[in-house]
Amino acid sequence: MDLKDYIRSIPDFPKPGILFYDVSTLLAHADAWQVTMGRMAKAARAHQPDVIAGVESRGFLVAAPLALKLGCGFIMVRKRGKLPGATIQHTYQLEYGEDTVEIQDGAIEPGQRVILVDDLLATGGTCTASIELLRKVGAEVCAMACIIELGFLKGRERVDVPVHALVTYDE
């Protein structure tokens, strides 16, 4: 099954000149969603994760069912101020300014094997920051997995763990 057949392209969203790859059409198609999760599980299983970490917010849609399918835990990597209780933060630089990602304190035990999951890998900025955050608390980040990779943005080059992408767009 070619998963690209189930991903909708929306021009000029969220602003002019951007071509947005919408996974909601993939999620809505039961067979395509089953195939997607099966392929993600096969890629992830090889790394023997203890925990799947999903990146806010569309990454949650992939990471939570993947964790369930693999029989491991799921944690959320969120923007600052969205998680209750004590958190561990990591601030990183953007092209114009900075942003912060965080996880709940105690969500990861030192030495746990973690796979970071998102719906899409673009420039790799949030992915790299999330990996640094997970390492800050002692996680062994063993891979990153996503449904879509925008290969032309070269985000994979910034990520220092194996990257598993089910679909790649090169232009």
CA distance 29 to 73: 26
171 is catalytic: no
From the candidates 39, 56, 78, 95, give the one annotated as an active-site residue: 95
58 is catalytic: yes
Residue 8, sorted as left (phi over 0), alpha (psi -120 to 50) or beta, turns out to be beta
From the candidates 8, 56, 58, 98, give the one annotated as an active-site residue: 58
Measured distance between the N- and C-terminal CA atoms of the chain, rounded to whole angstroms: 21
CB 62 within 8 A of CB 121: no
Which residues have CB under 8 Å from 57's CB, separation 6+?
none
Reduced to 3 states (helix: H, G, I; strand: E, B; else coil), residue 120 is: strand
Sign of CA dihedral 153, 36, 44, 108: positive
DSSP secondary-structure letter at 5? G
Reduced to 3 states (helix: H, G, I; strand: E, B; else coil), residue 95 is: coil
Task: List residues with catalytic annotation.
Answer: 58, 95
